[in-house]
Amino acid sequence: MAGFTPKLPLFASSTHGSYHLVQSLPELVKQNFKMLMLTMPEQLISEPEFGVGLPIALFEQDSVETRENIVSRIRKQVDKYMDFLEILDIAFAAPVGENTLGIKIVYNIRPLQMSDTFKINFKEGGFEDVTEDSFS
C-alpha cells in the first residue's frame, strides 16, 4: 500500500513494506509540525535556522516573558517553514511540577480547510500526550 513517507518513530511493517507509512495529508502535516516543534535550532546542518526547540523551554524560568518568547518562536517558524498553516491558538498547561511544560497548539491547514491540534507534555526524561484538562 502506498503512503507519503515513513511514519516516525520507525517501526517495521508487514503491510507497507519496510516501515509503517503516513497515510493521509493531515497526518503528514502533524508529523512535520511535530518535527518543527521538537527540532533544536542548529540541529540540522543543512538548515540551521529550522526548529522551535520546545525542549529548551524546560530549562527556562516559567514566566510570562518566557511563554511569550515560545509563542513568538512558534509563529516565526510556522511562517517560515509551514506557511500553509494558520496558528489559531497556543495554550500552556498549568504547571504540574518542576521541569514540566505542557503546550497545546491549534492550527488550521489552509489548503485542506481543516483544523487540528498538537498537544505535548515535556517532563524530565521525555515527552508524552496530554489530556485536554491540563490546559488553561
In contact, 37 and 50? CB cutoff 8 Å: no
pLDDT digits (tens, 9 = 90+) for 85-132: 999 999 988 665 556 778 999 999 999 999 999 998 876 666 665 444
> Cell for 124?
524530565
The predicted model scores a pTM of: 0.81
How long, in residues, is the chain? 136
Residue 91 CA to residue 88 CA, distance in Å, equals 10
Copy the grid coordinates of residue 41. 535550532
Q: Which CATH architecture has domain 26-134?
A: Roll (3.10)
| 44-96 per-position pLDDT tens digit | 889 999 999 988 887 787 788 888 999 999 999 999 999 999 999 999 886 65
Nearest to 93 by CA among 56, 62, 60: 62
H-helix or E-strand spanning residue 49: none
